[in-house]
Chains A and B, each alone.
Chain A
Amino acid sequence: MAELDQRLLEDISEWSHERPVPGIDGVLRLDVRDGARVDEWYLTIAKGVVTVGRTGGEPDCVVSGDSATFAAILSGKANAMAALLRGALSARGKVVLLTALQRLFPGSPGAEGLPTAGYAERQS
């Protein structure tokens, strides 16, 4: 089992500039298990924008799980809410932070939910 690909988290941070997380600031710590090893990642949400680091302030919410689960969620192959219900993730503290972040995780691969005609007009 490989350790979590840092780029997946950086994507989240990048997305948050385009799609800010509404109205909720705080620190979410991911405890990523890989065998006996636990890597901590800090996602700090301030004014809707997420920054990623290996250190951070006192977490408002701690989410733990194995690296495969996190990798699946961060690449759109699994759903965070379902993983939490399933026990593949566990969360302590203000779980609402995880809900707010969910909007930054990718959707399911190959999804056909393409914007309809009006979308293109509006973008041009």
Chain B
Amino acid sequence: MAMLNLFEVLLFAVAAGLVGSMTGLGGAVVVTPLLVFFGVPIKYAIAASMVCIIATSSGSASSYVRDGLSNVRAAFFLEIFTAVGAIVGAVITSFLSPTLLYFFFAAFLMTSFAAVRRRQSAAEEPVKQDAWAKSLQLSGSYFDRPTGKQIRYELHRPFWAAPGMFVAGLAAGMLGIGAGAFKVSIHEVILGMPSKVSTATSNFIIGMTALAGASVYFSSGLLYLNLAAPLAIGTTAGAFAGSRVLRNLRNETVRTLFLVVLAVVIVEMLYKGLTSL
């Protein structure tokens, strides 16, 4: 294994946290491939990432929740499914071959890329609350800084989102990522959430998904504290900065940044998978 340096790990963790928070990806989508790039075995990278996601997500979610940007009711409902998915996913990874994990990583992110890319061309259409969403009180409002307006929104089809959130949790637990890309697309495409609320809510849910996954990795012998700790510190610092930048960005800018980061990570994981065959 390549020699890792504490300060280098801290530095790239800050960068990963910044990008992860600004895009709603959760940081680990950048952290796991970077650790693998530095020669850390993928299962150790996944376990460490899973713990560091708790810090990244909680760090940025603290300000999103305070500002009312995260829809907490939607989050409470959806995290039932992501938590179960993450536990199942983490158990699967304990038995899976590392080569398969690279391909799963790339394949999963490709689906997120396609879903969000398709959505990019469509303008954000407000949706009408249906009976289930009304029963779960799924609506809200947030202050949009670039336009200076208070924007009200309603959500619909909460139960349609449930299987998607289970899959998001499964992928998160398996791959040591927040699966923010997938969650964001479910929020936007199925629930009809505005992009910024979707990113903020995803950050909030990711903390719980990561805890569910980490609960399995914690006792699996795959977790190294000297790897998880600098990652957690660095990504949290980056996430604090990232959440402040997000509020001043336009929805389209957030989405474009999201797609660029995903594309780079997909290429790296495919390369890693092919060279390890």
Partners in one complex: no
Residues of A bordering B, CB below 8 Å: none
Residues of B bordering A, CB below 8 Å: none
